[in-house]
Amino acid sequence: MIEFQNVHKTYRVAGRDIPALNPTSLTIEDGQVFGLIGHSGAGKSTMLRLINRLEEPSGGKIVVDGEDVTAFDSNQLRRFRQQVGMIFQHFNLLASKTVADNVALPLVLAGELSRGEIDKRVTELLARVGLSEHARKYPAQLSGGQKQRVGIARALSTNPKILLCDEATSALDPQTTASVLQLLAEINRELKLTIVLITHEMDVIRRVCDRVAVMDAGQIVELGPVAEVFLHPQHATTKRFVQEDEQVDENEQRDDFAHVPGRIVRLTFQGCATYAPLLGTVARETGVDYSILAGRIDRIKDIPYGQLTLALIGGDMEAAFARFTAADVHMEVLR
Amino acid sequence: MDILSYFANVDWVEIWQATNDTMVMLFISLAFIILLGLPLGVVLFLFSPRQMFEHKKVYAVLATIVNIVRSVPFIILLIVMIPITVLITGTSLGVAGAIPPLVVGTTPFFARLVETALREVDRGIIEATQSMGATTRQIIFKAVLPEAMPGIIAAITVTAITLVSYTAMAGVVGAGGLGDLSIRFGYQRFQTDVMIVTVVLLVILVQVLQMIGDKLVVHFSRK
């Protein structure tokens, strides 16, 4: 469990204190994939680096598994860091070392295993990330996705309990991003590893995270389970992220719908409800006709969801609303 | 036939001796310069702004000393150093007398080049190594130095070539070597033939050094 207790951070730039993180408290449960989303400068990178103290907090406490990380001396901190893996946007692999030597580096630095044991572990790790045949290559000979897989193997080498991901997919194309995210989800499932990731893409949050914190101007403005935050965003920043992901412009949509007759509602289905034949049933029973104005059916991590914007005309409108509300869907009346 | 007869008066034994002296001065000095300059470069890097031991005052002191030595013209340094040279080697003459001023004059230059090479290493590499729980020592030896290897080899190459021209100046204190020969025979005795031979040999030496350096840089850059 990672706990931020009233943690804040200010940078001193040219004699002036610039706040990077306002006092923040937050708990990240074990085994979770926790996402921090925000635009650049929102403080997400600072927050991530406070966990392994690559950034020193200006105040407050960070407690990991009951131990106050902020009180560690340099030896304790080094041992703690060996238990926390980290991957980076630009991979940060050593160009002068082979793939295998890069993966072995944290073990060599820790100095606890023999060369034979290290080699065995490296072979295992490279197999896990699907790079066994590239062990003797240098990073420059690999693609971006492969480099990040090396980064992941390296981060996992010391069997950490926590994995920190610093914009791990931001330098990758969409297809590679998907495969790297899949690998992260797999690792989280199989190794029961707690993952904290930062990103500026809602899509990344949607695919792998369990919980999300939305950050803006040095503070968390929205926090909750991904489905909750994604489907019912409250804060303006969150709404913007969701719209970016769906590539929908709310104002444009409102203009388009202006000419549509009848009432307009937005229905949000989650889980099994997504595949239930609700619309047809309600239409038949209440005589309300519908047309679909906009919609999306997708998954949030493993949960299917659907979000449809409908125009409803004729029939018994009240009864239809009542039926939708009674069913396992969330209804918003837009007009 | 004409070309050969033009060089008929050249004393090849003397040329051979001078070449040998130049090589000895070059490689012994270079060994000391690397031995002293590499740690000095690492220290400069560590104390420089935004690095691990960032310390304005320590860095300013080190940088000032380095700059002072670097700004003294080598020919002056040769003469100023004579008492110290005698203290170290027992003589201020010959190859042995040239090595201390060569080392003192060139080490700060090399250290600066090393510092620059280390600074070229991506900060992300240092951050990644820190995140693995590395000590500063491990960061330097296991990450920064290996990553900076091509830059350091290039620095050694540049330093070696600078040394070649410094060994020529060391002739002023009677150091011997090709440069000395070229001044004494070519300039002072108007023996253009000797000068041509020595200059050609120096050109070949510099070319060979550069070629070896470039080859090594390519070998160590895994890009």
Contacts of A277 (CB under 8 A, 6+ apart): none
Decide: A213 and A206 in contact? Cβ < 8 Å: no
For B134-174, the pLDDT digits (tens) are 999 999 999 999 999 999 999 999 999 999 989 888 876 77
Are B133 and A54 inside 8 Å of each other by CB? no
Indicate whether A270 pLDDT > 90.
no
- pLDDT on residue A56: 93
Indicate whether A181 pLDDT > 60.
yes
B interface test, pick of A77, A93, A103, A109 with most B CB neighbours within 10 Å: A109
CA-nearest residue to A79 within chain B is B133
d(CA A147, CA B38): 31
B223 falls in which pLDDT band (50, 70, 90)? Answer: low
- pLDDT on residue B178: 85
Three-class SS state of A165: strand
The ipTM value here is: 0.85
Indicate whether B1 pLDDT > 60.
no
- Per DSSP, A283 falls in state H
In this structure, CATH architecture of domain A2-235: 3-Layer(aba) Sandwich (3.40)
- Considering only the beta carbons, identify the residue of A84, A88, A138 that sits closest to B128: A88
Helix and strand element counts for chain B (H, E): 11, 0
A110: which chain B residues are within 8 Å (Cβ-Cβ)?
132-133
B129: which chain A residues are within 8 Å (Cβ-Cβ)?
105, 109
Indicate whether A317 pLDDT > 90.
no
Q: What are the phi and psi torsion angles at A72 (to 5°)?
A: -65, 140
* Helix orientation angle between B192-220 and B12-47, rounded to the nearest 10 degrees: 40
Q: What percentage of chain B exceeds 70 in pLDDT? A: 99
Domain pair A2-235 / A250-333, same fold: no
**DSSP alpha helices (H): ranges in A44-114?**
44-51, 74-82, 99-110
Of A40-44, A124-128, B121-125, the poorest mean pLDDT is in: A40-44
CATH placement of domain A250-333: 3.30.70.260
Three-class SS state of A47: helix
A105 inside 8 A of chain B by CB:
yes
Indicate whether A69 pLDDT > 90.
yes
In terms of phi and psi (left: phi > 0; alpha: psi -120 to 50; beta: otherwise), the region of A218 is left
- Considering only the beta carbons, identify the residue of B133, B146, B220 that sits closest to A78: B133
A84: which chain B residues are within 8 Å (Cβ-Cβ)?
131
- pLDDT on residue B151: 96
Contacts of A143 (CB under 8 A, 6+ apart): A176
Tokens matching residue B114 = 């090393």
Indicate whether B115 pLDDT > 80.
yes
Q: What is the CA radius of gyration of chain B?
A: 21
Tokens matching residue B130 = 């820190």
Contacts of A221 (CB under 8 A, 6+ apart): A214, A215, A235, A237, A238
A280 falls in which pLDDT band (50, 70, 90)? Answer: confident
The residue ranges of every structural domain in chain A are 2-235, 250-333
For A243-263, the pLDDT digits (tens) are 887 777 777 777 778 888 888
Are A92 and B133 inside 8 Å of each other by CB? no
Are B127 and A92 inside 8 Å of each other by CB? yes
For A3-36, the pLDDT digits (tens) are 999 999 998 888 888 889 999 999 999 999 999 9
- A vs B, Cβ pairs < 8 A, gives 66
Among A22, A20, A77, smallest CA distance to A54 is for: A77
Three-class SS state of A9: strand
d(CA A177, CA A33): 16
Tokens matching residue A236 = 């303006």
Q: Which residue has the tokens 């996992």?
A: A156
Better pLDDT: A213 or A15: A213
B199 falls in which pLDDT band (50, 70, 90)? Answer: confident
Indicate whether B109 pLDDT > 60.
yes
Among A58, A34, A73, A31, smallest CA distance to A220 is for: A34
d(CA A70, CA A327): 49
For A82-127, the pLDDT digits (tens) are 999 999 999 999 999 999 999 999 999 999 999 999 999 999 999 9
A205 inside 8 A of chain B by CB:
no
- pLDDT on residue B5: 78
State the smallest CA–CA distance between residue A137 and chain B in angstroms: 10
- Considering only the beta carbons, identify the residue of B142, B222, B223 that sits closest to A109: B142
Edge to edge, the sheet with strand A289-300 lists A289-300, A303-313, A263-270, A329-333
Average pLDDT over residues A280-291: 88
Average pLDDT, chain B: 90
The residue ranges of every structural domain in chain B are 20-175
Decide: B146 and B121 in contact? Cβ < 8 Å: no
Three-class SS state of A154: helix
Average pLDDT, chain A: 91
A82 inside 8 A of chain B by CB:
yes
Please report which helix (H) or strand (E) contains residue A37, including its range.
Answer: strand A33-38
Q: What percentage of chain A exceeds 70 in pLDDT? A: 100
CATH placement of domain B20-175: 1.10.3720.10
In terms of phi and psi (left: phi > 0; alpha: psi -120 to 50; beta: otherwise), the region of B116 is alpha
CA-nearest residue to A101 within chain B is B142
- Considering only the beta carbons, identify the residue of B127, B142, B222 that sits closest to A105: B142
Q: Which residue has the tokens 């104005």?
A: A293
Indicate whether B93 pLDDT > 60.
yes
Edge to edge, the sheet with strand A2-13 lists A16-28, A2-13, A59-64, A67-68
Among A25, A24, A22, A5, smallest CA distance to A66 is for: A5
Indicate whether B21 pLDDT > 70.
yes
State the smallest CA–CA distance between residue A140 and chain B in angstroms: 5
Average pLDDT over residues B4-20: 83
Helix and strand element counts for chain A (H, E): 12, 14
Among A303, A296, A238, A293, smallest CA distance to A273 is for: A303
Among A142, A151, A139, A154, smallest CA distance to A103 is for: A154
